[in-house]
C-alpha cells in the first residue's frame, strides 16, 4: 500500500486549509427533478427543504419538460440504454446522425459532430485542427474547458484582454506570420453574463484571415430572437467557423455537446479529436431527448421570450434593492460580493430563507471578485422571482450591503 | 540597460495589470506572483523578439527566466547584438 500516513496527512492538511479559508465546496443533495422548486438535503442528513433554484443552467425550463421526458422514454424503449462503444466503432445510431443534422440546421452551420460533453468538444477541437505552426488567441475570461483544450494543443497560445477589440487586433498583428490564426471566445461569458462582440470579432477575423471559435454553451437555445445563439444576436449567422456548445444546459440539461461549423473542420474532429475517438457515445436516451428539445424550439420562441422577460424583471429587482451587479442583458445575473467568505455566508443565509444560489470565488472567478451567480429560467414564475427578491433583500440587509458601492463592501469585508 | 527594463516594465503594466492594481518594480515576481500566466508569456516573448529583432529559443524562454523585469532583461541581453 503506497498510500501511507504521510500522504494522507498531506491531503488532510490541504483540505483543512480550504475549510479554514471558508472556501471548502460541499454538495447539496437534491431529491427532486430539476425545476424552479426543488427539494434539497443540506447539510447531509438534515431534513428536506423546499427551495427556489436560482443557480441552474436550466434556462428554458426543459430539463424536466413532460414532452422531453416522454421522448426520452420512447428513445430508451426503441434504441436501448447504452451503446457500449465509442462512436466510430459501433456507437453511432441513426438518431446520432439525425441529431447532428438537426443541430447543424438549428445553428445555421455546415456540419456538426457530437461529443460526450462540451468539455470534451473543447478538449479535442484545437489539437484536431491546429498544429505547432499556428496560434490560438483567446479572450482572457474564456471557460476553463477551453483553456484545458488550448493546453492540450501544440499551437502557440496568446490572450487578449476581455472583450477588448483593440487589444485583439494588436495580437492578430503580432502573430501575423503564423500559418493559421484562431480567435477563441465564449458567446456569453458564464461567470459575468456579458456577451462577446461577435460582429466586431468576425470583422477582425476577416481582416486578418483568422478563424473564429465561439463556445456558445450559455447561449444556445435562447440568445438571439429565435434562440440560435450569440451569433444570431450579433447578426453573424453563418460567419462563425466553429461553434462548440452543450446539451447540458438550456437544451434539455442532460449531457452531451458538439463541435459545429465548417464541414472540413468538423470532419477533422471526426478523424482526430481524442475525446470523440476514445470516449463513449452519447446515450440514446439523451439523444432522443435533445431531438425533442430542438423540435420544441423550432416550433416556438415562447420559452426564450419568457426567459428574456424574467431576466429583465430579476435584474431590475436586484438593482432597485441596491445590490452591485455585473452589467449585462442575459439570464446570468451576478451579484457581486468580492469577498470569498462573504459569498459563502450570503449563500448560506439565502438558503435559510428558501433560496438556492451558490457563491463563486477564486479560482472559478478572479481573485477579489467573489459573487453569487444567479441564473434565471423560463421555469420561474413571477411569484418565484418575487419571493427570491424578498429573500435577497432580507439577506442583503442582514449583511449591510444594500446601496453600498464595491469599495464600501470591500472596506467592510475585504476582498 | 535601464531603457530596456523600462520598456519591458511598461509593456507588462499595459498588457497584464488591472487598473488600480499594486505598482510593480523590476524585481516583482511576474509569473510566480500570478501577474502574468505562463500562456501570456508568449506575447511578451514575441513582443521582445519583434521589438529587438532577436530570437529567443523556446528552451530558454522558461517561466523562471521571465519571472521579473530584471530576469527578462538579463535574458534578452544575451541575444541583443
CATH of residue B51: 1.10.1200.10
Average pLDDT over all residues of chain B: 87
Single out the residue of A151, A133, A113, A122 nearest to residue A267, CA to CA. A113
Q: Does A159 touch chain B (CB under 8 A)?
A: yes
User: Does A162 contact B at CB distance below 8 Å?
Assistant: no
Q: Let me know if residue B10 belongs to a domain.
A: yes
For B18, name the nearest residue in chain A, comparing CA atoms only.
A161
What pLDDT does residue B20 have?
64
Q: Do the Cβ atoms of A174 and B42 come within 8 Å?
A: no
Say whether residue B50 is in contact with chain A using an 8 A CB cutoff. yes
Q: Is B40 at the interface with chain A, CB within 8 A?
A: yes
Helices (H), A3-143: 5-20, 66-79, 87-90, 94-107, 118-129
Give me the total of CB pairs closer than 8 Å, taking one residue from chain A and one from chain B.
20
Q: Considering the domain boundaries, does residue B40 fall inside one?
A: yes
Q: What is the pLDDT of residue A187?
A: 98
Q: Is the peptide bond before A104 cis (omega within 30 degrees of 0)?
A: no
Residue of A147, A150, A154, A157 to mutate when probing chain B, most B C-beta within 10 A:
A157
A365/A384 Cα distance (integer angstroms) = 27
Q: Report the percentage of chain A scoring pLDDT > 90.
A: 95
**Do A159 and B47 count as a contact with CB atoms less than 8 A apart?**
no
Give the mean pLDDT of B62-79.
92
Interface contact A174-B43, CB threshold 8 A: yes
pLDDT at B15: 87
pLDDT of residue A241: 98
Could you give the CA distance from residue A402 to residue A147 in angstroms, rounded to a whole number? 36
Cell matching residue A157 = 497560445
What pLDDT was estimated at residue A349? 97
Q: Other C-beta atoms within 10 Å of A115: how many?
A: 27
Phi/psi at A53 (5° precision): -85, 115
| A125 against B42, higher pLDDT | A125
Asked if the structure places residue B21 within a domain, the reply is no
pLDDT of res. B16: 85
Residues of chain A with pLDDT below 50 are none
Grid coordinates representing B64? Answer: 523562471
Contact (CB<8Å) A171/B43: yes
In this structure, the number of other CB atoms found within 10 A of the CB of residue A61 comes to 21
Cell numbers describing residue B26: 523590476
Is A170 part of the annotated catalytic residue set?
no
CB contact under 8 A, A156 and B40: no
Q: Are A113 and A258 in contact (CB under 8 A)?
A: yes
What is the count of structural domains for chain B? 1
The whole-number average pLDDT for the span B16-29 is: 82
Task: Assess A175–B contact: CB distance below 8 Å, yes or no.
Answer: yes
Q: Which helix (H) or strand (E) holds A231?
A: helix A230-233
CATH fold of the domain at A302-413: 3.90.1150
* Domain locations in chain A as residue ranges: 66-299, 302-413
| The three cell numbers locating residue B52 | 529587438
- Nearest-Cα distance to chain A for B9, in Å, is 18
- Tell me, yes or no, whether B59 lies in a domain: yes
Report the alpha-carbon distance of residue A402 to residue A399 in Å, rounded.
8
Cell of A254: 442532460
Let me know if residue B67 belongs to a domain. yes
At the top level of CATH, the class of A66-299 is alpha beta
Q: Which of A172, A170, A166 is nearest to A184 (CA)?
A: A172
* DSSP 8-state code for residue A182: E
Start-end of H helices in A302-366: 302-321, 340-352
* Domain with B39 in it: 2-15+28-77
- Interchain CB contact of A141 with B (< 8 Å): no
pLDDT digits (tens, 9 = 90+) for A60-84: 999 999 999 999 999 999 999 999 9
Domain membership of residue B43 (yes or no) is yes
Let me know if residue B55 belongs to a domain: yes
Q: Could you tell me which of A373, A374, A249, A376 has the C-alpha nearest to residue A310? A: A376
Residue B1 has pLDDT above 70, yes or no: no
The predicted-structure confidence for A250-292, as pLDDT tens digits, reads as follows: 999 999 999 999 999 999 999 999 999 999 999 999 999 999 9
A249, A292, A380, A384: the active-site residue: A249
Amino acid at each position: 500500500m503506497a498510500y501511507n500516513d504521510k500522504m494522507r496527512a498531506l491531503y488532510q492538511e490541504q483540505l483543512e486549509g480550504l475549510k479554514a479559508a471558508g472556501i471548502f465546496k460541499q454538495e447539496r443533495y437534491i431529491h427532486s427533478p430539476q425545476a424552479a422548486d426543488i427539494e434539497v438535503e443540506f447539510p447531509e442528513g438534515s431534513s428536506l427543504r423546499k427551495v427556489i433554484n436560482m443557480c441552474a443552467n436550466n434556462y428554458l425550463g426543459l430539463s424536466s419538460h413532460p414532452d422531453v421526458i416522454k421522448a426520452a422514454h420512447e428513445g430508451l424503449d426503441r434504441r436501448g440504454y447504452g451503446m457500449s462503444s465509442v462512436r466510430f466503432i459501433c456507437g453511432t445510431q441513426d438518431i446520432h446522425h439525425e441529431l447532428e443534422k438537426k443541430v447543424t440546421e438549428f445553428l445555421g452551420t455546415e456540419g456538426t459532430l457530437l461529443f460526450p460533453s462540451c468539455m470534451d468538444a473543447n478538449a479535442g477541437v484545437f489539437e484536431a485542427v491546429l498544429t505547432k505552426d499556428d496560434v490560438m488567441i483567446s479572450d482572457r475570461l474564456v471557460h476553463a474547458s477551453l483553456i484545458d483544450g488550448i493546453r492540450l494543443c501544440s499551437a502557440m497560445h496568446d490572450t487578449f484582454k476581455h472583450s477588448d477589440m483593440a487589444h485583439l487586433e494588436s495580437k492578430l498583428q503580432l502573430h501575423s506570420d503564423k500559418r493559421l490564426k484562431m480567435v477563441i471566445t465564449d458567446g456569453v461569458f458564464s461567470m459575468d453574463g456579458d456577451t462577446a462582440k461577435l460582429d466586431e470579432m468576425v470583422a477582425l477575423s476577416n481582416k486578418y484571415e483568422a478563424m473564429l471559435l465561439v463556445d456558445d454553451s450559455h447561449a444556445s437555445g435562447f440568445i438571439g430572437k429565435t434562440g440560435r445563439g450569440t451569433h444570431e444576436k450579433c447578426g453573424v449567422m453563418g460567419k462563425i467557423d466553429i461553434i462548440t456548445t452543450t446539451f447540458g444546459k438550456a437544451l434539455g440539461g442532460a449531457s452531451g455537446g458538439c463541435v459545429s461549423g465548417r464541414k472540413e473542420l468538423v470532419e477533422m474532429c471526426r478523424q482526430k479529436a481524442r475525446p470523440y475517438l476514445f470516449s463513449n457515445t452519447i446515450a440514446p436516451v439523451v439523444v432522443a431527448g435533445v431531438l425533442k428539445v430542438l423540435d420544441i424550439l423550432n416550433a416556438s420562441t415562447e420559452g426564450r421570450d419568457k426567459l428574456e422577460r424574467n431576466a429583465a424583471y430579476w435584474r431590475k429587482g436586484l438593482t432597485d434593492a441596491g445590490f452591485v451587479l455585473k452589467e449585462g442583458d442575459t439570464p446570468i445575473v451576478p451579484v457581486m460580493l468580492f469577498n470569498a467568505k462573504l459569498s459563502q455566508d450570503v449563500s448560506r443565509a439565502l438558503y435559510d430563507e428558501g433560496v438556492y444560489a451558490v457563491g463563486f470565488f477564486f479560482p472559478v472567478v478572479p481573485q477579489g471578485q467573489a459573487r453569487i451567480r444567479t441564473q434565471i429560467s423560463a421555469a420561474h414564475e413571477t411569484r418565484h422571482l418575487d419571493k427570491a427578491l424578498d429573500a435577497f433583500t432580507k439577506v442583503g440587509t442582514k449583511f449591510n450591503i444594500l446601496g453600498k458601492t464595491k469599495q464600501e463592501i470591500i472596506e467592510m469585508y475585504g476582498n | 540597460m535601464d531603457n530596456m527594463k523600462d520598456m519591458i516594465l511598461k509593456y507588462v503594466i499595459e498588457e497584464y495589470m488591472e487598473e488600480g492594481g499594486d505598482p510593480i518594480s523590476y524585481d516583482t515576481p511576474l509569473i510566480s506572483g500570478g501577474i502574468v500566466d505562463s500562456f501570456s508569456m508568449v506575447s511578451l516573448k514575441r513582443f521582445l523578439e519583434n521589438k529587438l529583432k532577436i530570437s529567443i529559443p523556446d528552451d530558454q524562454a522558461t517561466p523562471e527566466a521571465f519571472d521579473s523585469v530584471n530576469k527578462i532583461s538579463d535574458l534578452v541581453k544575451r541575444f541583443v547584438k
